[in-house]
Structure 1
Amino acid sequence: MQFYKEENFKEMHGLRVPEDWEVVRIGDFIKYIKGKKPAVMVDEELEGYYPYLSTEYLRDGIASKFVKITNKEIIVNENDILLLWDGSNAGEIFLGKKGILSSTMVKLEQKNKIMDDLYLFYSLKLKESFLKSQTKGTGIPHVDKKIFENIKIPLPPLEEQKQIAKILSDFDNLIGTINKQIEVLNKAKKGMMKKLFTKGVFEHKSFKKSEIGEIPEDWEVVKLKEVVDIQSGKYFKYSEFCENGVKCLKIDNVGFGKIFWETVSFLPEDYLNKYPQLVLKSGDIVLALNRPIIGGKIKIGILKDIDEPAILYQRVGRFIFKSEKIDKQFLFYLLMSEYFKKELSKLLIGTDQPYIRTPVLLNIKIPLPHLEEQKAMAERLKSIDNLIEIKRKEKEQIEKAKKKIMNLLLTGKIRVKNLNF
């Protein structure tokens, strides 16, 4: 792959582009189709049902809802271009997967085919941050139609569009390879967890039958409430939130094993003193109490140094340790296990927004090895997590490189001369 710098530029519609490029306005060649609210949705895939294209599914491939086809829905095919029109991340651009378009999204199509579709996708991704910053609405933000339609996109010759798209898709393929490696490590971790929480890490010669299955003879079975308690957060009014301050940890911030701040709300700094009992610290374990299981994964996280301080919001539970018989890291991994997920799912109340009551949650029985073995089990699982983190950082570096080259290629600051494969 070789590049050369383009020296001859021109001003066109407010953009500086190479002499042989054009500039087009989104509203002049793009039409969009708004998604519809489906008539029937279920939690598992059945015959005649398609995945509902939520942002979570489009980001990580975890489908939590499926839609029955009635021919009234908007069908999305692989690589269709989608725009999140409404919601906290309004303005986000996705490449589609086979499924049903969410009512919060629109499908983008060209009225006249003037641009390579993949080049169009990357061009829109370059405008994503701007589009997000220009959303409207005081309640649920939405894309500003006028601003979206007035976005200008540089238009190279078609062959160059395809070459640019190919380079950027190669980056995405590399990122996809790393994602698969992470997936393999996660499967290995899942298998290790199943073995550790039933057989242990030490060599056990005798086992016993218990109410939770066969476990080593010297293990205990206890209810969660014997070793921990759960503190739920507080509801804060909309008027209490501010532009900057201390982070408020909501259900959206609780991921699958970690804390996410992709969307963040702030409360005044003095709330740290006003509500000291709600202040979260590094090492705290939190669980989503509403919809705690999504796509077969438990929404649980453990705070790190970079996450503190934060204030606990309603329907997020923090585990308060009241016994020295249990290791914090051991419990964190146990709460992510298939066993705990199965027990938790039995106790959920409701279908649309299933939730768990804390007294019921605390009655779940768990295996309790000796403290030394708990720590050894947690250490083994932590070693796999460290490998996953290495891969995650590698992926992050490639994404940064992609972002940099994408900006250069899509503005013509670097031109593709030829490709050698």
Structure 2
Amino acid sequence: MKADLNITFYKETNFKETPIGKIPEDWEIRRLDNIVTECKTGIPVKQQDRVRGPYPYFGANGIIDYVHDYIFDGEYVIVAQDGSIGAIHYFNGKFWANNHVWVIKTKSFVFPKFLYYVFKTLNWKRLATGSTRPKVTQQVLLRVDIQLPPFPEQRAIAHVLSTVDEAIQKTNEIIEKTKRLKKGLMQELLTKGIGHKEFKDTEIGRIPKEWEVVRLKEVILEAKPGFACGKRDENGVIQLRMDSIDTEGWINCKAYVKVPPPKNVREYLLKPGDILFNNTNSVDLIGKTAIFRGEFSECVYSNHLTRIRVNPVKTIPEWILYVLIRKWQLRIFRMLCHPHVHQAGINKGDLLNLKIPLPPLDEQSKIAKVILTVDKKLKTEIKRKKKLEQVKKALMDLLLTGKVRIKVK
């Protein structure tokens, strides 16, 4: 296997025991205070006192603003002191930082981006002290042991991991662009349709003249909440829950539990084309909606979800899906919900009486097909991102422990 640099990979066989575990024989362990020239905090500037400019202003969560001046210039690793314990950042250039981070500059024999990736593997919560507001102190930080390969290998490891990071970033950009495209298409097609020239004003806004405004209950066969179950059974039936529904209309196949099947389990079995509406969640997430597309051969759903089955004479599942997603994007369900302690709920009656636009069936299908094309592209890119993240995780485990070595030619 070869990368952009003239490097080769090989499996290491000679290890030695160290306080932080096994590492290759020719690696060494150094305390952080022996490998850095700077480890200091920044200077806070209140938001109202900041002057807008070109230089990043770092806090524990990363870049939180841009300001007109800088106090650091160079290649640094930035570590959250408190708040977002475990947040690690890398920056090369001029920037400002506040007092919630440690700004670290390495000595010449340590490649900064390598240290950044090593920091990503540490258990920072164990390094933090204090109960009210845990903090990573400078004293504790400088005592951390760091594994150090020869400098060329440090640089090569950082290069490989950075290459994967760049691929993840590019995929992220495609995902965000595709999300914007999907949202724009939904806004256009769910209100203007395809090829219409005449429109009318209605209680839900301006829509094509040929369309109707109906209540949800007029175009569906049922809206059935699921069942609650606090028990777990490894041999039980798969139950989808509120976190099984993502915000783009898909089922998260990794977010489920297995529960003992109730006596009336058949009443709650899902069929392809069933719509799942999230009736209980935080005010920001309530109303998430997805279509069950047969992801599992046998599957039920919890009481925090409502199963909607459409009347095929009047509508198609995809139309209802996209209409409900659009209403979630417009925060309609946030306004309809009834807040409880820590979460909120939407009454079945309010859901059934929800007013929606209804084009003719053939136009519903055409619109859904256009949006679904973009939807599939979005899902493909999200899958690609997850695979890249898995690759990165595996590479970090292999390269930062020396299980797999890099030889630089």
Normalised to the residue count of structure 1, the TM-score between the two structures is: 0.66
Q: Which amino acid aligns with 2:332?
A: E
Contact 1:12/1:23, CA 8 A, preserved across alignment: no
1:218 corresponds, among 204, 210, 219, to 210
CA distance in 2, matches of 1:276, 1:80: 55
Q: Which residue of 1 aligns with 2:367?
A: 377
Q: Which residue of 2 aligns with 1:266?
A: 258
1:299 Cα deviation from its structure 2 partner: 2.0
CA distance in 2, matches of 1:96, 1:288: 36
1:343 Cα deviation from its structure 2 partner: 3.0
1:266 Cα deviation from its structure 2 partner: 1.2
Q: Which residue of 2 aligns with 1:314?
A: 303
Q: Which residue of 1 aligns with 2:334?
A: 345
CA distance in 1, matches of 2:295, 2:8: 39
1:264 Cα deviation from its structure 2 partner: 3.2
Determine whether 1:21 maps to 2:14.
no
1:121 Cα deviation from its structure 2 partner: 6.4
CA distance in 2, matches of 1:409, 1:17: 11
1:249 corresponds, among 236, 240, 251, to 240
Equivalent positions of 1:113-192 (< 5 A) are 119=114, 122=117, 154-157=147-150, 160-192=153-185
1:369 Cα deviation from its structure 2 partner: 0.4
1:366 Cα deviation from its structure 2 partner: 0.4
Deviations 1:104-150 (A, max 9, x none): xxx99899x9987865664576699xx9xxxxxxxxxxxxxxxxxxx
1:209 Cα deviation from its structure 2 partner: 1.6
1:360 Cα deviation from its structure 2 partner: 0.9
CA distance in 1, matches of 2:277, 2:145: 44
1:223 Cα deviation from its structure 2 partner: 0.5
Q: Which amino acid aligns with 1:168?
A: L
* Distance change in 2, residues 1:81/1:265 (3 Å): farther
Determine whether 1:232 maps to 2:197.
no
* Distance change in 2, residues 1:397/1:323 (3 Å): closer
Equivalent positions of 1:30-179 (< 5 A) are 76-77=61-62, 95=88, 119=114, 122=117, 154-157=147-150, 160-179=153-172
Q: Which amino acid aligns with 1:171?
A: V
Determine whether 1:279 maps to 2:284.
no
Deviations 1:212-260 (A, max 9, x none): 11211111100111112321111113xx212343222111222112222
* Distance change in 2, residues 1:263/1:197 (3 Å): closer
Contact 2:168/2:388, CA 8 A, preserved across alignment: yes
Contact 1:24/1:152, CA 8 A, preserved across alignment: yes
Q: Which amino acid aligns with 1:394?
A: R
CA distance in 2, matches of 1:199, 1:164: 52
* Distance change in 2, residues 1:321/1:6 (3 Å): closer
Give ranges in structure 2 of 5+ residues lacking alignment.
33-46, 49-58, 64-76, 91-99, 126-143
Give ranges in structure 1 of 5+ residues lacking alignment.
27-46, 49-73, 83-91, 98-106, 132-150
Determine whether 1:409 maps to 2:399.
yes
1:5 corresponds, among 10, 30, 55, to 10
CA distance in 2, matches of 1:378, 1:246: 32
Percent identical residues: 31
1:384 Cα deviation from its structure 2 partner: 0.8
Contact 2:212/2:357, CA 8 A, preserved across alignment: yes
Contact 1:298/1:341, CA 8 A, preserved across alignment: no
Moved over 4 A (4+): 13-16, 23-26, 74-82, 92-97, 107-111, 113-128, 151-155
SS state of the match for residue 233, structure 2? coil
Q: Which residue of 2 aligns with 1:194?
A: 187
1:293 Cα deviation from its structure 2 partner: 5.5
CA distance in 2, matches of 1:224, 1:165: 54
User: Greater CA deviation, 5-14 or 349-358?
Assistant: 5-14
User: Greater CA deviation, 395-404 or 299-308?
Assistant: 395-404
Give the total of aligned pairs.
Answer: 332
Deviations 1:63-102 (A, max 9, x none): xxxxxxxxxxx954468668xxxxxxxxx976579xxxxx
CA distance in 1, matches of 2:201, 2:166: 48
Q: Which amino acid aligns with 2:198?
A: S
* Distance change in 2, residues 1:416/1:292 (3 Å): same
CA distance in 1, matches of 2:389, 2:369: 30
SS state of the match for residue 313, structure 2? coil
Determine whether 1:288 maps to 2:278.
yes
Q: Which amino acid aligns with 2:370?
A: R
1:313 Cα deviation from its structure 2 partner: 0.9
- Bigger Cα Rg: 2
Cα RMSD of the aligned pairs, angstroms, is 4.1
CA distance in 1, matches of 2:276, 2:309: 10
Contact 1:81/1:96, CA 8 A, preserved across alignment: yes
CA distance in 2, matches of 1:316, 1:166: 45
1:332 Cα deviation from its structure 2 partner: 0.9
